[in-house]
Amino acid sequence: MSDLHSPASTGTAGKATDEAPVLATAGADAPSAPAETRRSFLPQSTLLRHLLVLAASAVLAVALLELSSPYQNSQLATLTYYAIAAGGLTVLTGMNGQISLGHGALMAAGAYTTALFLDAEEPLPLPLILVVAVVVATAIGALVGVAAARLHGPYLAGATLALAVGLPGLAIYFHDIFGGEQGLRVRAPRAPEAFGSFIEAVSGNSASNTKWLAYVGTICLLITYFFLANLVRSRIGRTWRAVRDQEVAAELAGINLGAWRVLAFVVSAAAAGLAGGVLAIVVRLAAPSGFTLVLSLALLTAIVIGGLGSLLGALLGSALLVFLPPFVTDLGGDLGLDQTEAAQLAPFVYGVVLIVAMIFAPAGFVGTIRLRWMTAKAKRASARAAGANGG
Amino acid sequence: MPTSRLEMTGINVAFGGVLALTDVSLTVEPGQVHGLIGPNGAGKTTLFNVACGLVRPTSGRISWRGQEMRRLRPSQLTKLGIARTLQGVGLFPGMTVLENVMVGAHRHARAGFLSALLALPTSDKDDRQLRERAMRALTELGAEQYAGRYPGSLPYPVQKRVALARALVAEPDLLLLDEPASGLAEDEMHELGELIRSVVGRMSVLLVEHHMDLVMRVCDQITVLDSGKQIAAGTPAEVQADPAVTEAYLGDAVDPGADAAELTHADGGRTHG
């Protein structure tokens, strides 16, 4: 056993794949604790580090919103609610290993709550309404989570599928409150005066209501990802992954599997609720047709393509979801297809992208790049070791 | 502090109509290494699973520190000061070695959900402490240089050390080891024996093992099972001298050929995990 103390001499170390997790699906999640303390220009404190990233992302987001057209602004607003929900889902599915086909329904809970509260004579301030939307979705998520904690794989998919199909049905059944098939029109909140002067000062653009909603979405997105990143990088995220990887071993380490599964579901539902709230004000409508199974499936494909368990992956996957179809449709138009044909091209290309991603990059964008990077690093390390031995 | 004594009295376990254990009793005294041996299918692992709540006995009594444990759940074990390793290794494949061991220190975590959500300094501090604990455990087992690696890429003996570190980092009063020597070479087994003796000052150990020489060397007390029944108990010398044991299990253990057969058997055990 003594030879194990010097890995460089055994020849087992430094293999190209040694540094990478064997599970392709875990390729996208970064470790919660560094093995060695590296010199880094980033602060040691998680809070400061994440606030720094948050600030940088905020600057980037403002630049992006101000340099893009009003149409692109509305696309970005769409992106924000997809990304918020996908971020929550990637924590549930990627980090904790629970699949959910019901996140569209949880978004509906947030959207309807927001719509109802905005419809009041004297509506509450928007942040407060969004908080209520989160609370409602969280409560539903907790109920579903308790049921889900005992289920696995296809059974869990089935149970959450029932949620996806059933919950929007309630809106039709109680049509006096929820407006039936037509749904509820949402009175989009007006931008405060300060917003106009802020935009004026930053770019001189006109502060349209579309722009305001895109900013609301962006702020919600940044806050959500800040919180989720904190959780992912902490003991909480580590415990979730332990439950995902090896149930028995996790239990023997003192982890109550059920409680931690419910916690993951609740966190994920909270994000879905906020996403629903943002969707309601951006789309200005909360209707059953907006929360079909397709929405839930779109979220799942987004996190898989982006890289399960990675927030950046969830964001990139959502971006693909939002920007790919119009891009393909335009491309089809340029290639001389008529409008209907061009519109039909989008889902086809999306499907092809999905299949290609599954075959060639099962770890998703972020996972694949991270695995490549780790492999390259290991290769360099072994080359160095070989050089040192030779010289 | 109540004495850390594990007492299992009159344990019966039936799977359907099959009796896996019949009236088995066993006591692990504080600071002792207790070996549990027997031929394949004797019910060793079943008794082990009873001790940690994975299998609920049909009848019988388990008490730990003088208190009866009625509805024992596996997730309560570490809080009670009991840690266990799994046959095979059962490491978390998607997490680094360091993280694996840090999960084992779950019981020592103090910072809660809210401080993690807000990334408060208490959460960072708590995590640093868990990390230090984990590194200490890895260093004790000579596996600290693998901290940043993923378990799947490591040789099997190293994985076993990491699994052991994950159990030790909880700082238990009772350590349950399920076939810790399976898949190890002779000298590695020797080191394992020394390691087990070295932790006895801090905790008692219940050991299920195939390798006779290891069991005879490290155990203070041995219980022998055969077909779900206890056929002998006592010190290694007493057990070795017991004719019932010789008949049921040891056979011609003095013959070096039998030892070799044991070894090949243990290598076959690798695939269990």
Q: Is residue B147 part of a domain?
A: yes
Mean pLDDT of A256-260: 94
Q: Is residue A119 part of a domain?
A: yes
Nearest to A14 by CA among B97, B96, B156, B153: B153
Q: Is residue B75 part of a domain?
A: yes
Query: Is the pLDDT score of A7 beyond 70?
Result: no
8 Å CB contact of B117 and A15: no
8 Å CB contact of A47 and B187: no
In terms of Cβ atoms closer than 10 Å to its own Cβ (0-12, 13-18, 19+), residue A107 is buried
Mean pLDDT of A354-380: 86
Q: What are phi and psi of B148, to 5 degrees?
A: -90, 0
Number of H helices and E strands in chain B, helices first, is: 11, 10
Confidence at residue B18, expressed as pLDDT on a 0 to 100 scale: 85
Interface membership of B153 toward A (CB under 8 Å): yes
Query: What DSSP character marks residue B62?
Result: E
Q: Please state, in angstroms and rounded to a whole number, the distance separating the CA atoms of residues B74 and B169.
A: 17
Query: Is the pLDDT score of B270 beyond 70?
Result: no
Q: Which domain holds residue A296?
A: 45-189+198-313
Nearest to A215 by CA among A95, A319, A74: A74
8 Å CB contact of B93 and A234: no
Question: Are residues B245 and B224 in contact, defined by beta-carbon separation less than 8 angstroms?
Answer: yes
Confidence at residue B258, expressed as pLDDT on a 0 to 100 scale: 47
What is the number of structural domains in chain A?
1
My answer on whether B3 and B33 are in the same domain is yes
More confident residue, B163 or B259: B163
In chain B, which residues have their Cβ closer than 8 Å to the Cβ of A12?
Answer: 155
Q: Is residue A26 part of a domain?
A: no
Mean pLDDT of B250-260: 48
- pLDDT tens digit string along A120-179? 888 899 999 999 999 999 999 999 999 888 888 888 988 899 998 888 888 889 988 898
What are A387's two structure tokens?
């050089």
Minimal Cα distance from B97: which residue of A? A35
Query: Is the pLDDT score of A8 beyond 70?
Result: no
Helix ranges (DSSP H) in chain B: 44-51, 77-80, 97-104, 113-117, 121-140, 156-168, 186-199, 212-218, 236-241, 243-245, 256-268
Q: How many CA atoms lie within 13 A of B45 on its CB side?
A: 12
Q: Is residue B155 part of a domain?
A: yes
Confidence at residue A25, expressed as pLDDT on a 0 to 100 scale: 54
More confident residue, A287 or B1: A287
Chain A with chain B: Cβ pairs closer than 8 A: 171
Cα→Cα distances A361→A24, A322, A357, Å: 9, 21, 5
Query: Is the pLDDT score of B226 beyond 80?
Result: yes
My answer on whether B19 and B104 are in the same domain is no
Query: Is the pLDDT score of B268 beyond 50?
Result: no
Compute the mean pLDDT over every residue in chain A, rounded to the nearest whole number. 87
The structure's pTM equals: 0.87
Confidence at residue A112, expressed as pLDDT on a 0 to 100 scale: 95
What is the number of structural domains in chain B?
2
Query: What DSSP character marks residue B246?
Result: I
Query: Is the pLDDT score of B264 beyond 60?
Result: no
CATH number, residue A235:
1.10.3470
Lowest mean pLDDT among A129-133, B97-101, B197-201, B251-255: B251-255
Can you give the three-state secondary structure of A231-280, one letter per residue? Answer: HHCCHHHHHHHHHHHCHHHHHHCCCCHHHHHHHHHHHHHHHHHHHHHHHH
What are B227's two structure tokens?
């077909």
Q: Please state, in angstroms and rounded to a whole number, the distance separating the CA atoms of residues A80 and A360.
A: 28
Tokens 């994975």 -> residue: B54
My answer on whether B183 and B153 are in the same domain is no
Query: Is the pLDDT score of A16 beyond 50?
Result: no
3-state secondary structure of B33: strand
My answer on whether B2 and B38 are in the same domain is yes
- pLDDT tens digit string along B176-221? 998 888 888 888 899 899 989 988 889 999 999 888 889 999 999 9
8 Å CB contact of A254 and B142: no
Query: Is the pLDDT score of B38 beyond 90?
Result: no
Q: Which domain holds residue B137?
A: 93-171
Confidence at residue B253, expressed as pLDDT on a 0 to 100 scale: 46
Confidence at residue B210, expressed as pLDDT on a 0 to 100 scale: 81
8 Å CB contact of B74 and A23: no
Q: Are strands B18-28 and A184-185 parallel, antiparallel or unpaired?
A: unpaired
- pLDDT tens digit string along A21-41? 555 456 677 777 777 665 567
Query: Is the pLDDT score of A108 beyond 50?
Result: yes
My answer on whether B117 and B6 are in the same domain is no
Q: How large is the C-alpha radius of gyration of chain B?
A: 19
Residue B272 pLDDT grade (very low, low, confident, very high; cuts 50, 70, 90): very low
Name residue B221's beta-bridge partners.
B34
Confidence at residue B123, expressed as pLDDT on a 0 to 100 scale: 93
Handedness of CA A78, A113, A170, A138 (dihedral sign): positive
